[in-house]
C-alpha cells in the first residue's frame, strides 16, 4: 500500500539532548528537531524557514537524482566557555557555495541569507550544541539541489536550499595522532573539471579509492595531479600542508583542489608565526624537504600526517606516533580561535545570538 508522505514522517527518530552522551559523540547523522529550507521557483527564492520534517519530497525525475546537480558546504558551531556560540568564517562557506553553484549552473543562495539561515538553524537546535568541555561541535551541512523534473541533460530551474545540523565529537579526543596515507592511481578531479567546487559527484568518485586505501590499512588517499600524477593534490577530503626543515609553510597549488577555508586560515596564521607561507606545486618526490606534514579541513581540523606511501615506498615525516610541535601549535591556535579562547583575525568568528 502506498504510504502518504505524512505517514512516513512521524519524526520517530528525532532525538532529545538526553539521548546523547556529548562526551562520546562520533561523526554520524542524528535527526535533530529542526532543519532549514528555502525553495527557488519561477525565478525567485521563497522566504526560508525552519522545518521539523527531516525528509525531502522530490520528483523521481528531479535533475539532482540523475545528473547530480548538487552542491554542499560543511562548517561547525562551537560552544564557548561562556556558554555562547561561535561560527567560524561562515561568509567563506556562503561564497564558496555560490561559486560551486555557478559551476553547475545552479541558482546560488544569497550569501547574507545563507549566514542568517545558519544562525537560525543553530539557534533552533541550540540544546544539541556539545558543551565546551567536550571538545565537540555542531556540524552544519548546507546544501543545494536541482529539483526540476528533466529527462534530457540540461540544468534545472527549480532548487531547494536546505541545512541540517548534527552534533559531532572531537576528531581526536585523546590528542592529535598521526595517520598513514597512500597515493592512488585514481584521480579525484580533472583540471577544468569540478575539483574547485564542492559538488556531490566529486565525493562519489572518491569512494572507491578511499575504500581501497582503508582496506590496505591506510587512513585515506593522497590524490596526485590528474595530468602527470606527480604533484600532491589533496588528502582524502582535506588539503595538504608541509612545514619545511627551514620552517616554511607550504601547501599545493593546483586548479583541481577544493579551496579549503581551513587552508586559507592556516596561511594567515602561518604569516602571524613568521612562516612565510606559499601555495606552490609539491612533487611526490619532494617530501624530504618537510619536517612535518598535515591534512587540514573543517571535519578533522588539523591532522598530522605520519607517512605517505607511494609506489610501495613509505616516507615518514616527523613521526608515525607523535605529532610535531608546529602542527600542534597550529592546531592549538586554530581551536582556541574557533572556541573563542583566543582572539583571531578580525571577522573570523561570528557570534550566534541564542535568545
Ligand X SMILES: Cc1ncc(COP(=O)(O)O)c(C=O)c1O
Q: What is the DSSP letter of 185?
A: S
198 is catalytic: yes
Q: How far is the CB of 219 from ligand X (least distance, A)?
A: 15
Q: How far is the CB of 9 from ligand X (least distance, A)?
A: 29
- Closer CB to ligand X, 261 or 270, in the complex: 261
Candidates 167, 297, 324, 344; binder of ligand X (CB under 6 A) is: 297
CA–CA separation, 124 and 120 (whole Å): 6
CA–CA separation, 101 and 72 (whole Å): 9
Query: What's the N-to-C CA distance of the chain in angstroms?
Result: 45
- Closer CB to ligand X, 27 or 55, in the complex: 27
- Closer CB to ligand X, 247 or 259, in the complex: 259
Pattern 233-272, ligand X, x by CB under 6 A: -x--xxx------------------x-xxxx---------
- Closer CB to ligand X, 40 or 164, in the complex: 164
Q: How far is the CB of 149 from ligand X (least distance, A)?
A: 29
Grid cell in block for residue 15: 532525538
CB atoms inside a 10 Å sphere around CB 73: 23
The active-site residue out of 76, 119, 198, 250 is: 198
- Closer CB to ligand X, 119 or 198, in the complex: 198
Tell me the number of residues near ligand X by CB under 6 A.
12
CA–CA separation, 201 and 187 (whole Å): 13
* CA distances (Å), origin 141, targets 29, 74, 136, 328, 348: 11, 5, 16, 27, 19
Write down the H helix ranges in 159-222. Answer: 200-215
> Helix (H) and strand (E) counts for the chain?
7, 18
Q: Does 298 bind ligand X (CB under 6 A)?
A: yes
Pattern 318-347, ligand X, x by CB under 6 A: ------------------------------
SS3 category, 75: strand
Asked if 307 and 284 count as a contact pair (C-beta separation under 8 A), the reply is no
- Closer CB to ligand X, 74 or 84, in the complex: 74
Q: Which residue has the cell 535568545?
A: 355
Q: How far is the CB of 285 from ligand X (least distance, A)?
A: 23
Q: What is the DSSP letter of 187?
A: -
Buried b (16+ CB within 10 A) or exposed e, 202-241: beebbeebbeebeeeebbbbbbbbbeeeebbbbbbbbbbb
Write down the H helix ranges in 31-76. Answer: 63-67
Asked if 352 and 123 count as a contact pair (C-beta separation under 8 A), the reply is yes
Q: For residue 103, what are the β-bridge partners? A: none
Q: How far is the CB of 229 from ligand X (least distance, A)?
A: 18
- Of 155-194, binders to ligand X (CB under 6 A) are none
- Of 72-111, binders to ligand X (CB under 6 A) are 74
CA–CA separation, 165 and 24 (whole Å): 17
The continuous run of DSSP H or E covering 222 comes out as strand 220-224
- Closer CB to ligand X, 74 or 110, in the complex: 74
Pattern 22-61, ligand X, x by CB under 6 A: ----------------------------------------
Q: How far is the CB of 93 from ligand X (least distance, A)?
A: 7
Q: How far is the CB of 301 from ligand X (least distance, A)?
A: 9
Give catalytic residue positions: 198
- The footprint of ligand X (CB under 6 A) covers 74, 234, 237-239, 258, 260-263, 297-298
Amino acid at each position: 500500500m502506498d504510504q502518504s508522505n505524512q505517514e512516513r514522517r512521524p519524526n520517530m527518530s528525532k532525538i532529545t539532548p538526553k539521548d546523547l552522551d556529548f562526551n562520546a559523540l562520533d561523526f554520524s547523522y542524528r535527526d535533530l528537531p529542526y532543519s532549514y529550507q528555502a525553495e527557488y521557483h519561477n525565478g525567485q527564492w521563497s522566504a526560508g524557514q525552519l522545518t521539523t520534517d527531516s525528509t525531502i519530497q522530490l520528483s523521481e525525475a528531479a535533475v539532482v537524482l540523475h545528473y547530480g546537480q548538487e552542491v554542499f558546504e560543511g562548517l561547525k558551531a562551537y560552544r564557548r566557555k561562556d556558554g555562547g556560540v561561535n561560527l567560524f568564517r561562515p561568509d567563506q562557506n556562503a561564497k564558496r557555495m555560490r561559486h560551486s553553484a555557478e559551476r553547475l549552473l545552479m541558482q546560488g543562495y544569497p550569501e547574507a541569507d545563507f549566514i542568517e539561515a545558519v544562525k537560525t538553524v543553530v539557534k533552533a537546535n541550540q540544546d544539541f550544541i556539545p558543551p565546551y568541555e567536550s571538545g565537540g561541535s555542531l556540524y552544519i551541512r548546507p546544501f543545494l539541489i536541482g529539483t526540476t523534473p528533466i529527462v534530457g541533460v540540461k540544468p534545472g530551474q527549480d532548487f531547494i536550499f536546505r541545512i541540517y545540523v548534527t552534533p559531532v565529537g572531537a576528531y581526536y579526543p585523546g590528542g592529535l595522532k598521526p595517520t598513514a596515507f597512500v597515493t592512488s592511481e585514481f584521480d579525484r578531479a580533472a583540471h577544468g573539471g569540478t575539483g574547485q567546487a564542492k559538488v556531490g559527484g566529486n565525493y562519489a568518485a572518491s569512494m572507491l579509492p578511499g575504500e581501497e586505501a582503508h582496506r590496505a590499512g591506510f587512513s585515506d588517499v593522497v590524490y596526485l595531479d590528474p595530468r602527470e600524477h606527480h604533484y600532491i593534490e589533496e588528502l582524502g577530503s582535506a588539503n595538504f600542508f608541509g612545514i619545511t626543515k627551514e620552517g616554511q609553510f607550504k601547501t599545493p597549488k593546483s586548479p583541481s583542489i577544493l579551496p579549503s577555508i581551513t587552508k586559507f586560515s592556516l596561511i594567515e596564521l602561518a604569516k602571524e608565526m613568521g612562516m612565510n607561507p606559499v601555495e606552490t606545486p609539491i612533487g611526490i618526490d619532494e617530501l624530504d624537504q618537510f619536517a612535518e606534514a598535515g591534512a587540514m579541513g573543517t571535519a578533522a581540523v588539523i591532522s598530522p600526517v605520519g607517512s605517505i606511501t607511494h609506489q610501495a615506498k613509505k616516507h615518514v615525516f616527523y613521526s608515525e606516533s607523535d605529532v610535531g610541535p608546529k602542527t600542534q601549535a597550529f592546531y592549538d591556535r586554530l581551536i582556541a580561535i574557533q572556541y573563542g579562547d583566543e582572539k583571531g583575525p578580525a571577522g573570523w568568528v561570528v557570534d550566534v545570538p541564542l535568545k
